[in-house]
């Protein structure tokens, strides 16, 4: 593939990501991408012959971005307080949540996207396990599933309701969660501490 063709593919995928962030799955249409990129719809179809092809390419890019962001977040965390503050901020990022909801909807309908969504889920679960280990909290499956469910749930609730004080409410819920997970303490232990 030529450099120009690769650039055009990236341009189309970038426009698709923007539309997912702004409008969710219903916004991901060839006519909207064509308008946003200034390309004819036939160009979009040339690079991505079917909506499924387009959806899979945009999903792959979205998943790669989401996993890189989560890995970076886990790398940067040093204390339990940082965890709750960072995750609470992320729950209020409606553009990210809109992408996850769109991918979930697409996975329900498209087997190709379902496989990609499973890769996102597996990567996310792996990062949560790494985070819990880093904080000295057991990374057993039940704990990972609980953190995952709370994170996703808080994000979706905030997107759906745009509730007042959403970040503060998420932070309080996350602090309660990490208190429950911590052994013998009233807050998540600092990174590197040992469970006793």
User: Using one digit for the tens of pLDDT, what is the confidence trace for 82-100?
Assistant: 889 888 988 888 888 888 8
**pLDDT tens digits, one per residue of 7-30:** 999 999 999 999 998 998 888 999
Please give the pLDDT value at position 103: 87
Q: Does a structural domain hold residue 193?
A: no
Q: Does a structural domain hold residue 164?
A: yes
Longest dimension (CA), the chain: 63
Q: Is residue 74 within 8 Å of 87, Cβ to Cβ?
A: no
Please, what is the angle between helix 111-134 and helix 141-161, to 10°?
A: 110
Domain containing 69 equals 3-181
In which element (H, E) is residue 77 found?
none
Q: Does a structural domain hold residue 128?
A: yes
Cα(162)–Cα(96) distance, integer angstroms:
14
Q: What is the mean pLDDT of residues 107-120?
A: 89
Please give the pLDDT value at position 19: 93
Phi-psi region of 162 (alpha: psi -120 to 50; beta: other; left: phi over 0): left
Cα(134)–Cα(82) distance, integer angstroms:
12
Please give the pLDDT value at position 58: 92
**pLDDT tens digits, one per residue of 51-79:** 889 989 998 998 898 899 889 989 998 88
Q: Is residue 146 within 8 Å of 94, Cβ to Cβ?
A: no
- Count the domains in the chain: 1
Q: Does a structural domain hold residue 186?
A: no
Please give the pLDDT value at position 24: 86
Please give the pLDDT value at position 81: 82
Average confidence score pLDDT of the chain: 86
pLDDT of residue 136 exceeding 50: yes
Read off the DSSP letter of residue 162. Answer: -
Please give the pLDDT value at position 77: 87
**pLDDT tens digits, one per residue of 151-186:** 999 999 998 998 788 899 999 999 999 888 885 334
Q: Does a structural domain hold residue 188?
A: no
pLDDT of residue 192 exceeding 90: no
Please give the pLDDT value at position 190: 44
Q: Does a structural domain hold residue 190?
A: no
Q: Is residue 113 within 8 Å of 103, Cβ to Cβ?
A: yes
pLDDT of residue 196 exceeding 80: no
Please give the pLDDT value at position 148: 94
Residue owning tokens 């012959």: 49
Which string of DSSP letters, residue by residue, matches 163-185? -TTHHHHHHHHHHHHHHHHSSSS
3-state secondary structure of 139: coil
Q: Does a structural domain hold residue 191?
A: no
Q: Does a structural domain hold residue 94?
A: yes
Other CB atoms within 10 Å distance of the CB of residue 121: 16
- CATH code, domain carrying 114: 1.10.357.10
**pLDDT tens digits, one per residue of 32-48:** 999 999 999 999 999 99
């Amino acid at each position: 593939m030529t450099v120009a063709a690769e650039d055009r593919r990236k341009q189309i995928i970038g426009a698709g990501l923007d539309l997912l962030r702004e409008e969710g799955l219903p916004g991901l249409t060839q006519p909207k991408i064509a308008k946003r990129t200034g390309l004819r719809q036939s160009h979009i179809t040339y690079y991505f012959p079917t909506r499924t092809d387009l959806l899979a390419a945009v999903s792959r890019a979205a998943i790669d971005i989401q996993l890189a962001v989560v890995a970076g977040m886990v790398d940067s965390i040093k204390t339990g307080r940082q965890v709750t503050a960072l995750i609470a901020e992320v729950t209020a990022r409606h553009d990210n949540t809109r992408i996850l909801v769109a991918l979930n909807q697409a996975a329900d309908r498209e087997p190709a996207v379902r496989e990609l969504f499973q890769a996102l889920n597996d990567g996310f679960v792996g990062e949560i396990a790494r985070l819990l280990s880093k904080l000295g909290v057991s990374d057993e499956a039940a704990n990972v599933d609980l953190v995952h469910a709370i994170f996703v749930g808080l994000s979706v609730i905030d997107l759906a309701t745009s509730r007042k004080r959403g970040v503060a409410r998420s932070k309080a819920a996350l602090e309660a969660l990490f208190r429950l997970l911590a052994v013998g303490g009233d807050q998540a232990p600092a990174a590197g501490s040992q469970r006793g």
